[in-house]
């Protein structure tokens, strides 16, 4: 009996998907004529109208549920690894040192350099042994600190993909051996992240020393980065950026006004294309990470650029981007499929297909058609217990019980008093 009651309770807690309970549907288009793995990129509209973490997404062929997998195109990369410089010294008037690299491929090398207001050229070569005899020249790179010109700092060497066990560095410029405190290697990512633009605008408002631009982002749309598209002039700049994200409460929820919440973060923009002291400098950082937001409401994003005493930075556009999410399934030839979502009662599906999924390079690229209201939609029946549906009645009943118990207690007290007098 207890087991049956538990099973009955579980049926109320775990909802089953049914087409009539989904609010939205989208036809799946551009399906290949041949059967096979097919993938489509999910846009911001799906996130805005689906349950958290896309738990209610379902794909149907006719009225049969089709297993699928969702994959995010995020970078898979190792953490930066710190390396201690070897044989630091001076040779031919230049600061030199060696470094033993971890096994595997790498590209960018970040030098830990002390000091300000310098420009230096770093020549890098690689070899199979610690000695630099017979080393292969990789290239020359410019590092700089232009704090005095308000143009920032860069000490990253953008090497081509390399796997030399040893690197040898020679620095021409105003940097002594004491200026080199270390270096780190940035591993090549196993995969490159891909992004989808979810909002774009060029409507900047300038007030005082700051320029700002604002966006309204629908609920649950996951902004990952902010990309700036500056005009061609000025050719070089360095500006601090602040990002403020404020929840936009839905005042209609339970008839009560909700309190707004705010998240803030900072970043910076840099563009340097110039020749200084006979050395060419080309450096750009025109994107910044977005702060993590977990608000169950729409959000207002305000991006503010601190111009200092310079002219306001001209921007062709500012973009909010999310990481690309792809939904993949095995499609049959000459068959229609539909994506459904908008049923918050559902938990995320658990398919063997998703557990064993391996994305194929030859997968067909399909798309989701325009969002449509599901013509069959009807709200789910309210499966809550009677007491949750009508909490006021529970309080009324509780009050009545208290009154009755009070009356009984009062009557008992009077009876005891009369008995005592007799």
- What tens digit of pLDDT does each residue of 248-283 get? 876 654 455 566 788 888 888 988 877 766 666 777
d(CA 23, CA 378): 8
Domain co-membership, 201 together with 302: yes
Both structure tokens of 33: 């004529």
Domain co-membership, 93 together with 45: no
Per-residue pLDDT at 306: 94
Look at residue 5 and tell me whether its pLDDT is greater than 50: no
Domain co-membership, 318 together with 336: no
Per-residue pLDDT at 294: 84
Share of the chain above pLDDT 90, in %: 56
Per-residue pLDDT at 213: 96
Pick the more confident residue, 174 or 193: 174
d(CA 413, CA 422): 15
Q: What is the CATH number of the domain that holds 252?
A: 2.60.120
Per-residue pLDDT at 11: 41
Residue 198 banded pLDDT, cuts 50, 70, 90: very high
Give the domain extent around 220. 195-323
Both structure tokens of 100: 């033993």
Domain co-membership, 241 together with 176: no
Q: Is residue 110 part of a domain?
A: yes
Per-residue pLDDT at 12: 45
Domain co-membership, 67 together with 122: no
Q: Which of 339, 341, 343, 342 is nearest to 368 (CA)?
A: 339
**187, 217, 237 - which closes a domain:** 187
Look at residue 178 and tell me whether its pLDDT is greater than 60: yes
Domain count, the chain: 3
Mapped to the 3 state alphabet, what secondary structure does the chain carry?
CHHHHHHHHHHHHCCCCCHHHCCEEEEEECCCCCCEEEEEECCHHHHHHCCHHHCCCEEEECCEEECCEEEECCCECCCCEEECCEEEEEECCEEEEEEECCCCCEEEEEEEECCCCEEEEEEEEEECCCCCCCCEEEEEEEEEECHHHCCCEECEEEEEEECCCEEEEEEECCCCHHHEEEEEEEECCCECCCEEEEEEECCCEEECCEEEEEEEECCCCCCCEEEEEECCCCCCEEEEEEEEEEECCCCCHHHCCCCCCEEEEEEEEEEEEEEECCEEEEEEECEEECCCCCCCCCEEEEEEEECCCCCCCCEEEEEEEEECEEEEEEECCCCCEEEEECCCCCCCCCCHHHHCCCCCCCCEEEEECCCEECCCCCCCCCCCCHHHHCHHHHHHHHHHHHHHHHHHHHHHHHHHHHHHHC
Per-residue pLDDT at 8: 42
Look at residue 195 and tell me whether its pLDDT is greater than 60: yes
- Tens of pLDDT, residues 304-342: 999 999 999 999 999 999 999 999 999 998 899 999 999
Pick the more confident residue, 261 or 22: 22
Q: Is residue 1 part of a domain?
A: no
Look at residue 216 and tell me whether its pLDDT is greater than 90: yes
Look at residue 419 and tell me whether its pLDDT is greater than 80: no
Look at residue 45 and tell me whether its pLDDT is greater than 50: yes
Domain co-membership, 149 together with 223: no
Per-residue pLDDT at 391: 67
Domain co-membership, 151 together with 228: no
Q: Is residue 216 part of a domain?
A: yes
Domain co-membership, 248 together with 170: no
**126, 155, 187 - which closes a domain:** 187
Q: What is the CATH number of the domain that holds 159?
A: 2.60.120.260
- Those residues whose C-beta lies under 8 Å from the C-beta of residue 277, and which sit 6 or more positions away, are 119
Per-residue pLDDT at 389: 54
Domain co-membership, 160 together with 216: no
Both structure tokens of 177: 């051996």
In total, the chain counts a number of residues equal to: 422
Q: Is residue 390 part of a domain?
A: no
Domain co-membership, 315 together with 200: yes
Per-residue pLDDT at 10: 42
Per-residue pLDDT at 80: 65
- Those residues whose C-beta lies under 8 Å from the C-beta of residue 120, and which sit 6 or more positions away, are 142, 143, 144, 171, 172, 173, 174, 175
The average pLDDT across 45-60 equals 95
Look at residue 188 and tell me whether its pLDDT is greater than 60: no
Whole-number average pLDDT of the chain: 85
Residue 7 banded pLDDT, cuts 50, 70, 90: very low
Look at residue 102 and tell me whether its pLDDT is greater than 60: yes
Q: Is residue 217 part of a domain?
A: yes
pTM: 0.69
Q: Label residue 93 left, alpha or beta by phi (over 0 means left) and psi (-120 to 50 means alpha).
A: left
- Those residues whose C-beta lies under 8 Å from the C-beta of residue 256, and which sit 6 or more positions away, are none
Look at residue 224 and tell me whether its pLDDT is greater than 90: yes
The average pLDDT across 374-392 equals 75
| Alpha-carbon distances, residue 175 vs 94, 170, 234, 280 (angstroms) | 8, 11, 29, 18
Per-residue pLDDT at 349: 96
What is the signed CA dihedral for 77, 82, 87, 91, rounded to 10 degrees?
70
325, with CB counted inside 10 A (0-12, 13-18, 19+), is: buried
Per-residue pLDDT at 385: 62
Confirm if 324 and 41 have CB atoms less than 8 A apart: yes
Share of the chain above pLDDT 70, in %: 84
Per-residue pLDDT at 190: 56
Domain co-membership, 110 together with 180: yes
Domain co-membership, 209 together with 286: yes
Per-residue pLDDT at 2: 47
Residue 376 banded pLDDT, cuts 50, 70, 90: very high
Q: Is residue 383 part of a domain?
A: no
Q: Which of 143-152, 195-204, 281-290, 374-383 has the highest mean pLDDT?
A: 195-204
What is the signed CA dihedral for 128, 134, 138, 139, rounded to 10 degrees?
150
């Amino acid at each position: 009996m207890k087991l049956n009651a538990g099973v009955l309770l579980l049926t109320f807690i775990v909802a089953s998907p049914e087409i009539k309970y989904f609010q939205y549907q989208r036809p799946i288009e551009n399906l290949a004529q041949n059967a096979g793995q097919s993938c489509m990129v999910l846009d911001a509209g799906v996130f805005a109208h689906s349950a958290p973490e896309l738990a209610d997404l379902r794909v149907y062929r006719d009225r049969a549920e089709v297993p699928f997998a969702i994959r995010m195109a995020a970078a898979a990369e190792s953490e930066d690894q710190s390396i201690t410089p070897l044989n630091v010294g001076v040779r031919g008037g230049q600061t030199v040192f060696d470094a033993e690299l971890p096994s595997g491929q790498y590209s960018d090398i970040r030098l830990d350099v002390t000091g300000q207001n310098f420009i230096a050229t770093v020549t890098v070569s690689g070899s199979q042994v610690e000695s630099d005899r017979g080393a292969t020249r990789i290239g020359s790179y410019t590092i700089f600190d232009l704090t005095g010109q308000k143009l920032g700092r860069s000490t990253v060497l953008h090497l081509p993909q390399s796997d030399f066990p040893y690197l040898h560095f020679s620095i021409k410029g105003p940097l002594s051996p004491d200026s080199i405190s270390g270096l780190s290697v940035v591993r090549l990512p196993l995969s490159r992240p891909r992004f989808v633009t979810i909002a774009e605008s060029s409507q900047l408002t300038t007030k005082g020393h700051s320029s700002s631009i604002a966006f309204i982002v629908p609920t649950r749309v996951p902004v990952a980065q902010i990309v700036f598209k500056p005009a061609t002039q000025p050719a070089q700049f360095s500006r601090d950026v602040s990002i403020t994200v404020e929840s936009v409460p839905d005042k209609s929820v339970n008839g009560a006004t909700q309190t707004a919440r705010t998240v803030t973060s900072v970043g910076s923009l840099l563009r340097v294309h110039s020749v200084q002291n006979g050395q060419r400098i080309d450096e750009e950082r025109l994107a910044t990470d977005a702060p993590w937001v977990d608000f169950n409401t729409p959000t207002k994003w305000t991006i503010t650029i601190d111009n200092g005493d310079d002219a306001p930075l001209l921007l062709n556009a500012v973009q909010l981007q999310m990481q690309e999410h792809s939904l993949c399934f095995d499609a049959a030839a000459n068959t229609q499929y539909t994506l459904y979502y908008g049923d918050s009662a559902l938990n995320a599906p658990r398919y063997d297909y998703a557990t064993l999924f391996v994305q194929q390079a030859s997968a067909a690229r399909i798309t989701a058609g325009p969002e449509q209201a599901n013509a069959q939609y009807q709200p789910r029946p309210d499966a809550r217990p009677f007491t949750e549906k009508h909490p006021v009645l529970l309080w009324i009943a509780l009050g009545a019980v208290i009154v009755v118990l009070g009356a009984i207690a009062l009557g008992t007290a009077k009876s005891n008093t009369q008995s005592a007098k007799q």
